[in-house]
Amino acid sequence: MAITDKNTKHKVNTKEAFRKAFIKKVEEVSGEDFSESTTRHQYEALAELVMEEITAEWAVNNSRLHKMEEKQIYFFSIEFLIGRLLKAYVNNLGWDTMVEETLNELGVDYEALQSEEHDPALGNGGLGRLMACFLDSTAALGFPGHGNGIRYKYGLFEQKIINNEQVEVADIWLKNGYPFEIVKPDKAVVVKYNGDVRVEEVNGKMQFIHENYDPVLAVPYDIPVKGYRNNTVNSLRLWSAKPVEDFDLSTFNQGHFLKAMQRKSEAESISQILYPSDHGFEGKLLRLKQEYFFVCAGLKRIVRRYKKHNHGSMDGFPDKICIHINDTHPALCVPELMRILVDEEGYDWDVAWDMTIKSISFTNHTVLPEALEKWPIDMVQKLLPRVYQIIEEINRRFINDMNWFYPDQVDRNYSMAILKDGQVHMAHLAIIGSHSVNGVAELHSKILREETFRDFYAVFPDRFTSVTNGVTQRRFMMGSNPGLKTLLDDTIGTDWKKPGNMCSLEALLPYAQDAAFCQKLGDIKHANKERLAKYIKETQGIVLNPDSIFDVQVKRIHEYKRQLLNILHVILTYNQLRSNPNADIVPKTYILAGKAAPSYVYAKEVIRLINVVADRVNNDPLVKDKLKVVFVPNFNVSVAEIIYPAAEISEQISTAGKEASGTGNMKFMMNGALTLGTMDGANVEIAEAVGMDNVFTFGLSDTEVYNYNTHGGYRSLEVYESDSRLQEILGQLINGFFGESAGFQMIYDSLLLHNDTYFVLKDFAPYVDIQDIASNVYRDQKQWQKMSTINIAHSGIFSSDRSIEDYEKRVWKVK
Ligand code: OAK
């Protein structure tokens, strides 16, 4: 599939050529002699060189794309959490050795140079990062696949910890410019909001005319997505909102200066900020505007390009185009594509509907009810009058069909409506308007089929499928853990690095018994732990013991992810050490990180608790080197790249049935950490892959949780009353143990008064037991490294290359 074009010109493909080009470029950007240049200049110069190289290939790819020889995949997503790009580009170009050696010879610090790149936080967490991994894999495999989203002016906030609490600071990621995007004002399109719909009959056909609307200009910024050592360069297109005229002159001339300004800022507000709530639906008008904004703009360009290629006709569109919608935020693709086909292209409804369903596929990323999008009908109707009419018609026909086919199931039919209870149910719209609906891990897909979307599954069984998530090993292992990459190359050869070939890491299995290999693996882990310890010392002033177990839980802070369970166990260990400072425990460092949505008060309390406990434990001389707790502030992609390679225990302890998949679990695994987790999300598949002897599992199963939730029978107070450890710990949360002002009544109440929704107390004893088991295994380093090797050897299926290949076969059928 890879595009091989002999004409692609490589300007700097030798060390000498690169050295010359780099020095010249640094002097151009700085206006100074190379010897006077700053790290910033050097970063800008390398970024420019990389872009020059990539854009040459990009042009070849784009002209190929215009010819539409292959089916194109478009990922519509409200988030793309891409992380820093410079090093990824360098590696994908195959320039890594050349660049590293040359910079070294020139006395340039490559790590410092990379840190000049502001990590663009254009996503909250799993959903947005998955898209970035998928773009990387799609390009690596040579498939034409592109992203379509929003170019937020402010990404996710920067998290600071002040007085143990999360404080949010604006993330001004564009402050120094961004070298990897190309703005294309000539490809800007108009997005229409509000106004009225007038109906006219033209030649016996109804025409729907949207008038008196508020226009907003969508301007595309394209970021190249370079495939790993091939000639594929795809695009991530992010839209920025601008007023149609930079200034509303007529209003201004009438003396209404403020009003003219207001129009401008109203338009710009659409792409101003990424909503920081992960798994929480707020129903704000601005968010609805954002959703329609990138859907409308993205579809317009795709349709324009398709028609240009197809002599002005939309016939055959689904054979050449896949519109993949990442959760329900882009679900307006369904009525918008219908609007284009029916209103603008004149197709009959049934033909247009068939084309729409064939073009669109949908992935669900959560079963948490609070994340389900339901827009008030009047809001949609006012903001998007014509789109709303189309939703109404889709709903009417759907309910009619259901009542025709299942006349005795009127209640069920109505429960599946898109419009009900005064709301537009976006998940229903997405399912009804797609040919494929999938969950992101086997267990999650099962829950979708049997619970969340059970009624839809009964009606459309063939639409439902499952594709387990994956992550790009190129960023999260080869790039961030070069020591491990080299060890693997030296041990089993380099074939495993070929895109789509990571399963050949299984060749490593015999080495699980090889003492010399295991020793080397342990040494690499130790070096990575030292690197993380250095980072934490420099940024937080906390000294870690790299000989202790590094036990890590890094992810968004959410009740269902149960960081609370982790910290309660830390308090238990602390209590044990206080009563017996000489207890024979394996020294352990608990590392936690993650952001809480600014309005999620409970999650912020959990952050405060972690930090308060860390303060207390780390400053207690009794504890010595046996226990440390660190909360690393501002968890983002670049911090993650330092943390994963250093981890030994991967904490994946969500309440079973709640974590759709998880992807951190995969990143840890491919770096040799052992999973300590519940049988939830993709943990189940990790356990299956490595065998139960090579993971530490504990806790309620999803069925047990389901049964408690549906039939009752759980009383957290009973658990508390029968466990003296819990009595002591929960007492400490409210009795001033952590300082007069450091009470945690809200957490205490959630566990005892509100019956512990996420089964933290219920899973506490099994969690403590499995932690003890893990510590004991760690005493036997041979055994630990063996397990670690087995985990790495089986991590190939969790490459996003495999996910993309699965999507290709099950959903898009590009080939
Ligand atoms: C965020 C907002 C709305 C809906 C879903 C999310 C989200 O981030 N979900 C996460 O998606 C990841 C990628 O599929 C999964 O690995 C996580 O389990 C899931 O929580």
Compute CA 182 distance to the chain's CA centroid, rounded to the nearest angstrom.
Answer: 23
Q: Which amino acid is residue 396, in one-letter code?
A: R
What's the total number of domains in the chain?
Answer: 3
* Active-site residue identified among 556, 588, 595, 794: 556
Residue among 631, 681, 687 nearest 655 (CA): 681
Determine the pLDDT at residue 741.
Answer: 77
* Active-site residue identified among 25, 192, 365, 520: 365
Domain of residue 63, residue span: 1-67+85-118
Residue 368 is assigned to a structural domain of this protein: yes
Q: How far apart are CA 720 and CA 749, in angstroms?
A: 12
Residues 595 and 638 in one domain: yes
Residues 494 and 412 in one domain: no
* Active-site residue identified among 146, 525, 561, 802: 561
Ligand 1 mean position, distance from CA 131 (Å): 11
Residue 254 is assigned to a structural domain of this protein: yes
Residue 365 appears among annotated catalytic residues = yes
Instruction: Enter the tokens of residue 519.
Output: 């020793």
Residue 766 is assigned to a structural domain of this protein: yes
Instruction: Enter the tokens of residue 265.
Output: 């800022």
Residues 254 and 298 in one domain: yes
380 close to 288: Cβ distance less than 8 angstroms: yes
Atom of ligand 1 nearest to the CA of 363: 14
Residue 787 is assigned to a structural domain of this protein: yes
Residues 260 and 388 in one domain: yes
Residue of 127, 653, 655 to mutate, ligand 1, most atoms within 8 A of C-beta: 127
Number of neighbouring beta carbons within 10 Å of residue 102: 21
Residues 47 and 144 in one domain: no
Residue 94 is assigned to a structural domain of this protein: yes
The ipTM (two decimal places) reads 1.00
CA distances from 169 to 40, 79, 556 (A): 23, 19, 17
Q: Which amino acid is residue 717, in one-letter code?
A: L
345 close to 314: Cβ distance less than 8 angstroms: yes
Dihedral angle over CA of 65, 69, 71, 74, nearest 10: 0
Q: How far apart are CA 34 and CA 151, in angstroms?
A: 34
Residue among 416, 324, 323 nearest 363 (CA): 324
Q: Is 562 left (phi over 0), alpha (psi -120 to 50) or beta?
A: left
Relative to beta strand 419-420, strand 423-425 is antiparallel
Its pTM surpasses 0.80: yes
Atom of ligand 1 nearest to the CA of 129: 13
Residues 6+ positions from 747 with CB-CB distance below 8 Å = 564, 602, 605, 606, 609, 733
φ, ψ for residue 529, nearest 5 deg: -65, -40
Q: Is 31 left (phi over 0), alpha (psi -120 to 50) or beta?
A: left
CA distances from 293 to 16, 191, 269, 286, 372 (A): 47, 6, 12, 10, 20
With residue 26 as reference, give the H or E element that holds it. Answer: helix 15-30
Residues 516 and 638 in one domain: yes
Residues 80 and 104 in one domain: no
Residue among 209, 512, 224, 533 nearest 385 (CA): 209
In which residue ranges of the chain is pLDDT below 70?
A: 1-11, 66, 247-249, 252
Relative to beta strand 165-169, strand 158-162 is antiparallel
CA distances from 592 to 383, 617, 765 (A): 42, 14, 21
- State whether the Cα torsion 691-697-702-707 is positive or negative: positive
Residue 628 appears among annotated catalytic residues = no
With residue 249 as reference, give the H or E element that holds it. Answer: helix 249-253
DSSP 287: H
In our burial notation (b when 16+ CB lie closer than 10 A, e otherwise), range 171-199 reads bebeeeebbbbeeeeebbbebbbebebee
Q: What is the largest CA-CA distance in the chain?
A: 91
Residues 418 and 508 in one domain: no
491 close to 510: Cβ distance less than 8 angstroms: no
Residues 29 and 152 in one domain: no
Residue 595 is assigned to a structural domain of this protein: yes
3-state secondary structure of 118: coil
Residue with tokens 């695009």: 235
Q: How far apart are CA 648 and CA 524, in angstroms?
A: 12
Residue 562 is assigned to a structural domain of this protein: yes
Q: How far apart are CA 798 and CA 168, in angstroms?
A: 33
Residues 92 and 241 in one domain: no
DSSP 560: G
Residue 87 appears among annotated catalytic residues = no
Residues 514 and 608 in one domain: yes
CATH number of the domain to which 159 belongs: 3.40.50.2000
Determine the pLDDT at residue 4.
Answer: 38
Residue 498 appears among annotated catalytic residues = no
Residue with tokens 């360098």: 90
- Per residue in 124-162, pLDDT (tens digit) is 999 999 999 999 999 999 999 999 999 999 999 999 999
402 close to 365: Cβ distance less than 8 angstroms: no
Long-range contact pairs involving 571-580 (C-beta distance under 8 Å, separation at least 24) = 571/613, 571/729, 571/732, 572/725, 572/729, 572/768, 573/627, 574/613, 574/616, 574/617, 574/620, 574/623, 574/627, 575/725, 575/728, 575/729, 575/732, 577/622, 577/623, 577/626, 577/627, 578/620, 578/622
Q: Name all residues whose Cβ lies below 6 A of ligand 1.
A: 125-127, 130, 278-279, 327, 365-366, 371, 440, 469, 659-663, 681
Instruction: Enter the tokens of residue 475.
Output: 């960023």
Residues 295 and 383 in one domain: yes
Atom of ligand 1 nearest to the CA of 662: 16
Determine the pLDDT at residue 771.
Answer: 98
Upper half-sphere CA count for residue 651 (Cβ side, 13 Å):
26
* Active-site residue identified among 242, 667, 762, 786: 667
Determine the pLDDT at residue 247.
Answer: 62
Residue 263 is assigned to a structural domain of this protein: yes
Residue 525 appears among annotated catalytic residues = no
- Per residue in 457-515, pLDDT (tens digit) is 999 999 999 999 999 999 999 999 999 999 999 999 999 999 999 999 999 999 999 99
